[in-house]
Structure 1
Amino acid sequence: MALALVRLIPTDTNVPFIKARLAAFFVSVALILGSVTAFFTLGLNFGIDFRGGTAIEVQTEGPADLGALRTVLEGLDLGDVQVQGFGADNEALVRVGQVSAERANEIEGYSVENDAEAQQAVRQYVSDTLEREFPGIVFQKIESLSPQVSGELVVAGATSIGVALFLMLVYIWFRFEWQYSVGAVLALIHDVIATIGFFAVTQLEFNLSTIAAILTIVGYSMNDTVIVYDRIREDFRKFKTRPTTEVLNGAINSTLSRTILTSGTTLVAIVAMAVIGGPALEGFALALIWGVGVGTYSSIFVAAPLLTLTGVKRTSDDDDEGHAVAP
């Protein structure tokens, strides 16, 4: 089956990708400007991880029915609620978003004066409801995540993305040349901004899983870019008099079959995750689906064409010194 699929993808394509670099440039600029505009006008729909709330670890008598837990908690109308498997098959993690004092006072039997008391009321309300609906349930741990801690998580998440981009820059600089590193990192920044814009437009929940998805996208896109760059460097050594644009276009086309197969098989797994993974994995899976698409696009239409602007050398330092070059 895999062999038949490989045969369906031509290995001698000659698609003029580099000729389309100007159109791709305008598409990328529009995508980045649109993403930045959406971020500042619509904002991100931060999840419990970044807004604060209550986390409760529970243990049920039998296998935890996550769907039933989710249905009961959503019926309480407390806003953002998350339920996911945790540890053994009879354990679950329940998270409820920050609830205002005004909303807590609407709960029958509760009267609070501030947000701190509101969170205590919500913890008690959720616990009482779960004990009533799921006899024998055990509360292993109950804790609150304050907005201050959540703010620190936002900073930590942004820092992790920045560090990842910087380390990629250093890696490509040493692996190839600084001209390649500029193109690769600009392509990665393009992917990160586009992904954040995707979450701003769709208003999907932005949480720690999303940060993990973005870091995964960075790694995936970088891997795709390195494959193309490796072929470009080989072709520069092989075709010393061929125009740069022809070398770049040839390298992209020669790796196109690999790119299509890798992206296609990756998407099959991610789409399956999005379809059967439920609400807990929805945001993560959708971010990866978007990231695979935009990462593949940037490797072809951003990273490689940028080499025409950075003045990449056609030969390595070893070539200049007359040393042998590996084929």
Structure 2
Amino acid sequence: MGAFSRLGNDLYSGRRSIDFVGRRWVWYAVSALIMALASFGLLRDGLNMGIEFTGGAEYRVTVPAEKATQETADELRSAVASTGIDSASDSQVTTSGDEAILVQTQPVNDDESAELVSTILEVTGATEADISQTEIGPSWGKEVAERSLLGLAVFLVLVTLFIWAYFREWKMSVAALVALAHDVLITIGIYALSGFEVSPATVTGVLTILGFSLYDTVVVFDKVRENTHQLKKSRLSYAEAANLAVNQTLVRSINTSIVALIPVAAILYVGVVQLGSGSLKDLALALFVGMAVGAYSSIFIATPLLVQLKSGEKDLDHDERRAAARRREAGADLYSSVRGADSSATPPPDPRQVRADGTVATKPKTAPPRQAEAVNKGRVVPKPHGPVKPSPSAGRVQPTRQPRSKRGKK
């Protein structure tokens, strides 16, 4: 931790620096590759929408702990699919903790529901008192989806207005929204690849990670504004000051992300391994992926994109040229001092002055001749510019000044 703290101090003071802004095309390429993989998974597999959005029936059967296993769930899935009911041909059967199994199907009628209940009881050996049925209509699921999209749209609008009002810079809003879209696309794509079911908890997780990503981005942008406030008085260009801001907040972003990801990872492990199903794992997966991607986008995407959007401004172009000129002047002064030190160094001795024993014959140093001094004055007499000539005014009567009381009297 001591080395990590020293690294943070060096990054904050500028003694060490990572070129995030200058290598932005590398980060863009990495993000493009990740988004391409996420989009491929999203287009190939699609989202596994839960019955809360599509409507359907859910059967929860309580079984002993030795039967609440994945083997029983797989056997029950095969038995439900073999009933010949179209709505149950692609059912979702998962364990729920150590004492229950969930069976989710598309909407079924009463006869089909009775047949499914009979099959579930036959496979699991449970009684009718151990099974509960929940039906969700498609209209309610559609309403949940519409409200989720409305909440996302309101969130994005409020984010845009907040960033514009706080920073008074619309380009910062654009960069932050691009980073948010980057986080959402990657999170949804990885969610599709995992095959997890999309539930209302998933929507809650996505909205939460948008807030986390925005928080980290605003912190970095605030440091960018602080570093570029007095840009004309510094030797840095806008890109250099922004890159310094990312380096100064890098350790903080890493620490914040690690502290947030550790408990979320624990929740994800419990939801997947221990419980096996439920909204807990859906929420944890969205939070874990979103927080990790949000920390990445605030460092590698948002600030480099902001610098690229502002690169065409005339004032910043002038500041860039001025900073480059100052760096050239500083380099010229450095080299001139080096040359001055070299020129003042002792020159090598003349070979003609080297004696046979290897010593150098030098002339004895004598003091320069002293100039004549003025008597009783302590000063050096200046050299005369020429012979002293008599003044033309010599012999003239010089006027005298008399007091006013004697003027005009003889």
TM-score, normalised with respect to structure 2: 0.60
Q: How does 1:69-108 map to 2 (within 5 A)?
A: 75-77=75-77, 78=80, 79-81=91-93, 96-99=103-106
Structure 2 unmatched ranges of 5 or more: 12-16, 81-90, 316-410
CA displacement at 1:261 relative to structure 2: 0.5
Contact 1:195 1:291 in 2 (8 A): yes
CA displacement at 1:131 relative to structure 2: 10
CA displacement at 1:81 relative to structure 2: 3.6
Deviation string, structure 1 residues 294-317 (Cα, Å, up to 9, x no partner): 1111101111111123338899xx
Q: What amino acid maps onto 1:167 in structure 2? A: L
Measured at CA, do residues 54 and 123 of structure 1 come closer, stay the same or move farther in structure 2, by a change above 3 Å? farther
CA distance in 2, matches of 1:212, 1:93: 25
CA displacement at 1:30 relative to structure 2: 3.2
Contact 1:130 1:137 in 2 (8 A): no
Deviation string, structure 1 residues 186-213 (Cα, Å, up to 9, x no partner): 1101110111111223323222222111
Report the aligned-residue RMSD: 3.6
Contact 2:8 2:248 in 1 (8 A): no
Measured at CA, do residues 197 and 252 of structure 1 come closer, stay the same or move farther in structure 2, by a change above 3 Å? same
Measured at CA, do residues 172 and 119 of structure 1 come closer, stay the same or move farther in structure 2, by a change above 3 Å? farther
CA distance in 1, matches of 2:188, 2:47: 8
Partner of 2:47: 44
Partner of 2:246: 252
Measured at CA, do residues 122 and 53 of structure 1 come closer, stay the same or move farther in structure 2, by a change above 3 Å? farther
Measured at CA, do residues 202 and 57 of structure 1 come closer, stay the same or move farther in structure 2, by a change above 3 Å? closer
CA distance in 2, matches of 1:293, 1:17: 18
Contact 1:66 1:83 in 2 (8 A): no
CA displacement at 1:123 relative to structure 2: 6.9
CA distance in 2, matches of 1:259, 1:121: 55
Contact 2:264 2:284 in 1 (8 A): yes
Q: What amino acid maps onto 2:32 in structure 1? A: V
Q: How does 1:3-18 map to 2 (within 5 A)?
A: 7=5, 10-13=8-11, 14-18=17-21
Structure 1 unmatched ranges of 5 or more: 86-91, 101-114, 316-327
Q: How does 1:275-290 map to 2 (within 5 A)?
A: 275-278=269-272, 279-280=276-277, 281-290=280-289
Structure 1 position 116 matched with structure 2 position 109: yes
CA distance in 2, matches of 1:119, 1:173: 56
Measured at CA, do residues 44 and 5 of structure 1 come closer, stay the same or move farther in structure 2, by a change above 3 Å? farther
Deviation string, structure 1 residues 46-76 (Cα, Å, up to 9, x no partner): 2232232224689x8xxx9889667666653
Contact 2:121 2:128 in 1 (8 A): no
Q: How does 1:54-69 map to 2 (within 5 A)?
A: 54-55=57-58
Q: What amino acid maps onto 1:235 in structure 2? A: N
- State the identity %: 30
CA distance in 2, matches of 1:67, 1:311: 63
Measured at CA, do residues 252 and 122 of structure 1 come closer, stay the same or move farther in structure 2, by a change above 3 Å? farther
Contact 1:220 1:292 in 2 (8 A): yes
For the residue of structure 2 that corresponds to 1:179, the secondary structure is helix
CA displacement at 1:254 relative to structure 2: 0.4
CA displacement at 1:117 relative to structure 2: 3.3
Contact 1:55 1:93 in 2 (8 A): no
CA displacement at 1:166 relative to structure 2: 2.0
Q: Which has the larger radius of gyration?
A: 2
Deviation string, structure 1 residues 238-268 (Cα, Å, up to 9, x no partner): 4434211101110001001111111111111
Partner of 2:164: 173
CA distance in 1, matches of 2:314, 2:287: 35
Measured at CA, do residues 66 and 171 of structure 1 come closer, stay the same or move farther in structure 2, by a change above 3 Å? farther
CA displacement at 1:36 relative to structure 2: 3.2
Q: What amino acid maps onto 1:284 in structure 2? A: L
- Return the match for 2:211 from 219, 223, 233: 219
Q: What amino acid maps onto 1:225 in structure 2? A: T
Partner of 2:345: none
Structure 1 position 154 matched with structure 2 position 145: yes
Contact 1:53 1:96 in 2 (8 A): no
Measured at CA, do residues 82 and 209 of structure 1 come closer, stay the same or move farther in structure 2, by a change above 3 Å? farther
CA displacement at 1:292 relative to structure 2: 1.7
Partner of 1:296: 295
Deviation string, structure 1 residues 257-284 (Cα, Å, up to 9, x no partner): 1111111111111111122234233333
- Equivalent pairs, count: 288
For the residue of structure 1 that corresponds to 2:209, the secondary structure is helix
CA distance in 2, matches of 1:222, 1:137: 46
Partner of 2:187: 195
CA displacement at 1:132 relative to structure 2: 6.0
